Amino acid sequence: VRLVESGGGLVQPGGSLRLSCAASGYTYNMPCMGWFRQAPGKEREGVATLKWDGTTSYADSVKGRFTISQDKAKRTLYLQMNILKADDTAMYYCAADPRWVGCQRTNYRYWGQGTQVTVSS
What are the pLDDT digits (tens) for 53-97?
999 999 999 999 999 999 988 899 999 999 999 999 999 999 999
Give 67's strand partners.
80
pLDDT value of residue 26: 84
Are residues 119 and 11 in contact, defined by beta-carbon separation less than 8 angstroms?
yes
CA distance 19 to 95: 13
Provide the b/e sequence for 41-78 (b: ≥16 CB within 10 Å). eeeeebbbbbbeeeeebbbeebeeebebebeeeeebbb
Compute the average pLDDT of residues 39-66.
95
